Amino acid sequence: MGELWRNSAVELAAMIRGREVSSREVIQAHLDRVEAVNPYLNAIVRLLPDQALAAADVADRAVADGAGLGPLHGVPVTVKVGIDLAGTPTTQGVPALAEAVAPVDAPQVERLRAAGAIPIGKTNMPDFGLRVHTDSALHGLTRNPWNPQRTAGGSSGGEAAALATGMSPLGLGNDLGGSLRNPAHCCGVASIKPSTGAVPTATVIPPEDWNISFQLMSVEGVLARLIADVRAGFTAIAGQHPRDPLSVPAVFTGLAPGERPAVAVLPEPPGGSTHPGVGAAVRRAADALADDGFAVTEAVPPDYEQAIDLWSTILVADLRIMKPVLDQLMGPGGRQFLDYAVEYLPASDLAGWAMAHTARHGLARRWSLWYQQYQVLLCPVWSQPAFPLDFDIASLDSAIATFELIRPVLPANLLGTPAAVVPAGMADGLPVGVQVMGGKYTELRCLAVAEAIEQRLGPLTPINPVAG
């Protein structure tokens, strides 16, 4: 039977369906793995052993009875603490919400359960998800399993660290400024940031309604070790839901058998420096695609740096409005990063904010047309490997450097377009992820291209965490 925690979600579902192993055995194997490695990482901050094992017994009875089984039947999953999981607090990483118990599941959790998945725990995030480094005022620091002195990324850092070390095969997170993709890069796993509206989102923990920047640019998604699991998770949770008025019944574009779309490659994105090892990883992924028959060309999307500036202008307007309340609820690290953000990122009056939205529409149109020439864009996730702990708040200069290194993730948030992440190698002893981006609702195409890279270069995880 081997070490079940090493298997993928899709593999585990097939094994349970085929009666090679029981769901209880699978859940117990992951609970044992959490016990063995989570003390080194602090990735899972709330474990649900009794509920998970009880659900596994129900799942095993369904198999024995010959009942209809969902695609993730009996498979363990983890859920970020900023997402409602019935009977557990949606803490957002802050002490003020430590007892904010959600009575119902968020739509994406509801749908994973409907697919047969079993939540086994909740994973760490920074205060309100407003850092790209996972250190919570309530739950503490999550360490990178490759190097405990480097960030696990954020804001879904707990999820990525748990996945990378085999504590879970599939997890839920969200993404306003790379929060599904940043930790995937830092920890060496895969993810998908969907198009805006592709996956529903809702909460019963106040505030239930979000500022305009969050409505436009924040999305829900999944992380896993393998692209096949990312695809399985994404297809399980996507689609319109009555609790989310912005969700849509999208039809997602994929690849026909043998289809090889044109790929634009951007190893060193404009707007700042790029670590040589990161650029090399992007070129390695591009070479893998070229070897597989894809047409690969180095090219830059239109007005790339404007996309970064507009993301900042639109988000910081809301952050300035929210800051007095956030300052009362966030810990010192979160407040410091927020202070640096509003000091550095551009301020605008009402006219400037309105013009930014007009400019966003024009930029989205130009990128949409550009994606007719190049169906996908291959580029870094971050322009640097995972940074040292608390680098983002060490000084204003380091905060500015942090905004510079995350710049490749921002256009997809601004434009509401999908971006898949797949590992493509190492730099300075740390994993490097690459993004496969595309036009709206081309999630399945992005995942197919990412999977082609994965099949050539191979996964990096699961691993045992480096202690120290």
Active site residues: 80, 155, 179
- What is the distance of C-alpha 417 from the center of its chain? 14
For 14, the token pair is 């097939």
CA distance 392 to 341: 10
Interatomic CA distance for residues 402 and 71, integer angstroms: 39
Rounded Cα distance between 238 and 235, Å, is 5
Total Cβ atoms within 10 A of residue 375 = 22
DSSP 134-171: -EETTTEEPEETTEEEEE--SSSHHHHHHHHTTS-SEE
Q: What are phi and psi of 34, to 5 degrees?
A: -60, -45
CA distance 80 to 71: 22
Query: CA end-to-end span of the chain, whole Å?
Result: 31
Question: In the Cβ-directed half-sphere of 313, how many Cα atoms lie within 13 Å?
Answer: 20
- Residue 33 makes CB contacts below 8 A (sequence gap 6+) with 5, 165, 166, 167
